Structures are given as structure tokens and as C-alpha cells.
Structure 1
Amino acid sequence: MTLERPIAPDPYELLPTVGSFALSSDDVRNGEPMDATYAHGSVGGGNVSPHLSWSGFPAETKSFVVTCFDPDAPTGSGFWHWVLVDVPVSVTELAGGVDETGLGGAFSIRNDYGDTGYGGAAPPAGDRPHRYVFAVHAVDVERLDVGPGASPAYVGFNLAFHTLARAVIRPTYQVTA
């Protein structure tokens, strides 16, 4: 059964325009279905974060924030799957299934599953394909001034004042009934 509701807007279309740069992945492709490896265990997935690599960000970048958001979740507010803050500017690639403890002080805040780290795709069975918006935000400060207890919305609020540019890739995922 497909949940009947309008398509949610892309979250970054609602924010002030910022510059862009290149984001690529060996694991996921823009507009294409993700493999179950990157889906949550609750839907039989591997719950592994995909490989991400970026380049061409502004020279004044001092750190990065990596996020994954599902605007199509039937919640009224989307669903945050990953919020990794304070990634050092020297890090321009994350391996699939990245161990965040080796990222020079970077840390994840709780996702909407209530866990820290990456939480894979898990749209309701039979729902239309959901978009998973992976974004790397080039930030103008080394530390975003948020702690591990911050909410994804609070991180997003702080990003509104510190994002120089953003790179985005939007794969999809669907659980068939």
C-alpha cells in the first residue's frame, strides 16, 4: 500500500542559496536505488554508511558536516539518518561503513532512530521510493559549537549561519510489500 501524500520539497531548496562543489560515491548514485547494504537492519539491510568523496569546496572551508535526510518519511518533519559534525577539512573522503572515531574529533549526534552514527534507509513497506539526501556542508568554522546531545534541527540551524557551500547526492530506496 502506497501512502497517499504529496511529494515533500527538497530540504535545501527551502534554505538560502549557497555555493556547491562535487560529491561522488562508489556506492550510491544520484536518483538511483541504493543497495540493501545501506538500508537499516529493521528492513533486512546492512546498515552500512556509503562511501562518499568530495572536492572543489571553497578555500576558506575549515570543516565539514555530513548529513543524510529522508524528506519523504511520513512524519511531517522528515527523518534524519545521519548527522556527522566537525569533520576536519583534511578529510575529503569517508569509506563505506566509516569508523567515525578515527576522524580527528568528528562525532555523530543522535539520528531519528535515537542512535548515534549512520542509520540506514527504512521507508514503510509498499511506500513509494524515498529520497535519501546525502549532503556534505563546507563550514566556515573548525567546530560548529554543538555538542553530542544536539538535535539534528539544532545542527541545521547552526549550519544556516556557517555553510559556505554544499554538495548533495540523492539516491532512493524502497521496500516492496
Structure 2
Amino acid sequence: MAIADGELVAVMVLDTVGSTARRAQLGEVAANQLDLAERAALRTRIADVGGEVVAETGDGAVALFPSASAALEVGLSLRGPQYRIGVAVGEVVHVEDGVWSGSAMQEAAMLERACPVGEVVASPLAAQLATSVHVSIEPLDSAPASAVVVRPSAL
């Protein structure tokens, strides 16, 4: 995905829940092999909708998508007890190799931190712009800023 400075994108920040406990339980070698397989599957899933992983953060990742619909499609497909996922939209700027900046980057990270385990939390704008996925939304009361929990909805 080629992204120009100042381009409007969707940002997804994902954190793996319980990775430290899993590493202690499985041991370093087995946990590392599992992590590598999961990261490869995640990169493939993100690329399938035109997105790109731009950073790996220990037990998480940051990805950019061409649309809020694409980001939420991936987020909802990953929704479960293993992850916390935050999605925001905004302009981004390429600072240096592998480093992106912009308020959407910080907002998505804030949303991920506020996200209950197993859920996807988005900015209201990201949820509103996601017109090609069928979702239900409800306010997230515990968030420090406006945020919504996004769940799949029946057609």
C-alpha cells in the first residue's frame, strides 16, 4: 500500500492479550514460533484488504488501511479473547523508514488501551465511514474520549 504524506487512512492498533503468560507457559522457543506464525497470518489478512503492517510492537502491531471499512473488517475478523483493537481515521505523515505520525496514530493507540479484552473500539468517525461492513455500535463509557464499541451485526 503506497501512502502519501497527508493521506487520509484508517489506523488499527492491535495488542495481544496474555502474551507474557503464554510465553511463560510455552517457553521462549515454542512461544516465538507461535508468535511468528500469528504475525505472518496477521500480515496476510491485513494485506488481503489492501492494508499494511507498519510497525510491530512486541506483542502487537500497527497497520494502515485505505479505508475504515477495511480496517474494521480485519478488526472484526480478529475479535476475540486474544486481542484488544483500536481503530481511528486521519491523515498520516511518513517521518522516517518505518515510522509514521499523525493524530490518528495516537488516537488508535488510545482506543486500543481503552478497549475491553476481546472487543474492537473505534472512533465515531471511523465507525461512520465504515459503510461497507455491517456493524452495530454502542458508546464506550470508560474511554477518555469519545469512542464506540464495534460489533458485527446481522443483516
Considering the TM-score relative to the shorter chain, is it more than 0.5?
Answer: no
Q: Report the TM-score when normalising by structure 1.
A: 0.29
Q: Report the TM-score when normalising by structure 2.
A: 0.31
Structure having the larger proportion of residues in helix: 2
